[in-house]
């Protein structure tokens, strides 16, 4: 089974500052990688995913993540955060079936005005 | 189109009772998965159904069961409820067997007293 580690449980950052949320996974076999965001009292929303191809993937709201196979990492970054980015962020990994996700414990991002 | 719909949103049950949670996937989605989210354990995979067949099951006791109907709607049942079953139960759907990136519902918040 996969193991997903999100190294920071809480990340406070000032508005318009850059942020990086870290994610590492355990296996070097072929995996698919995802970032989900959860706002209070809501379900998970897919932010971005890596399936194959370019190792840098982007979302429509300015987030990007880079797949690094040698370091088994999939860190999430944003160059300038907004208040509305305050939420819980989950990194997830699935193996080649794509049917079962292994989630990290989440990182709570708080954007400070 | 409508998202993944979970009912009810909130539920309070007594220890020893049983409960049934419902999930209506996005129209056309045939794969449905269930996850349990708790502060201590994070997001844990319960089971996944595709075309009425359970394809994967997580590491939960037999008190947790599920099924999927011919219209892809899914239910999960928990019998003999324990205090530790209090959690947010999330349902997620995707279109096909190899389609990646689940869409999650808003969840059912179950409280066992």
| Contact present, B103 and B3 (Cβ < 8 Å) | yes
Nearest to A50, CA basis, from A88, A10, A82, A98: A98
B42 in A contact zone (CB under 8 Å): yes
Q: How far apart are CA A81 and CA B29, in angstroms?
A: 34
Tally of residues, chain A: 113
The stretch A80-107 carries a mean pLDDT of 89
B102 in A contact zone (CB under 8 Å): yes
> pLDDT by residue (tens digit) across B86-95?
999 999 998 8
> pLDDT by residue (tens digit) across B17-31?
999 999 999 999 999
Cross-chain Cβ contact B103/A99 below 8 Å: no
Q: Residue A85: is its pLDDT beyond 70?
A: yes
Q: How far apart are CA B48 and CA B13, in angstroms?
A: 25
Distance in Å, alpha carbon of B45 to nearest chain A alpha carbon: 7
What's the maximum distance between 2 C-alpha atoms anywhere in chain A?
Answer: 42
Distances (CA, A) of B27 to B30, B69, B88: 8, 13, 23
Q: Which alpha helices (DSSP H) does B35-91 contain, by range?
A: none
> pLDDT by residue (tens digit) across A34-56?
999 999 878 899 999 998 888 89
**Strand segments (E) across chain A:** 4-5, 10-14, 19-21, 24-25, 31-38, 44-50, 56-58, 64-68, 73-78, 87-95, 101-103, 107-112
Q: What is the mean pLDDT of chain A?
A: 91
B7 in A contact zone (CB under 8 Å): no
Q: How far apart are CA A78 and CA B14, in angstroms?
A: 44
> pLDDT by residue (tens digit) across B29-46?
999 999 999 988 889 999
B43 in A contact zone (CB under 8 Å): yes
């Amino acid at each position: 089974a996969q193991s997903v580690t999100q190294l920071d449980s809480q990340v406070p950052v000032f508005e318009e500052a850059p942020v990086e949320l870290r994610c590492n996974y355990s296996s070097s076999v072929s995996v698919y990688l995802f970032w989900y965001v959860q706002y209070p009292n809501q379900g998970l929303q897919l932010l971005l995913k890596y399936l194959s191809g370019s190792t840098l993937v982007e979302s429509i709201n300015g987030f990007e993540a880079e797949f690094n196979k040698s370091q088994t990492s999939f860190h999430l970054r944003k160059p300038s955060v907004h208040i509305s980015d305050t939420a819980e962020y989950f990194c997830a990994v699935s193996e080649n079936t794509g049917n079962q996700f292994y989630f990290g414990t989440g990182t709570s991002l708080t954007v400070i005005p | 189109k409508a998202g993944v719909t979970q009912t009810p949103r909130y539920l309070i049950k007594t220890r020893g009772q049983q409960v049934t949670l419902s999930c209506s996937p996005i129209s056309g989605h045939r794969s449905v998965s269930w996850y349990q989210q708790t502060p201590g354990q994070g997001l844990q995979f319960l089971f996944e159904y595709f075309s009425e067949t359970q394809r994967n099951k997580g590491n939960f006791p037999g008190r947790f069961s599920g099924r999927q109907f011919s219209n892809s709607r899914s239910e999960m049942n928990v019998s003999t409820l324990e205090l530790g079953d209090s959690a947010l139960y999330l349902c997620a759907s995707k279109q096909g067997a190899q389609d990646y990136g689940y869409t999650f519902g808003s969840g059912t918040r179950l409280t066992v007293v």
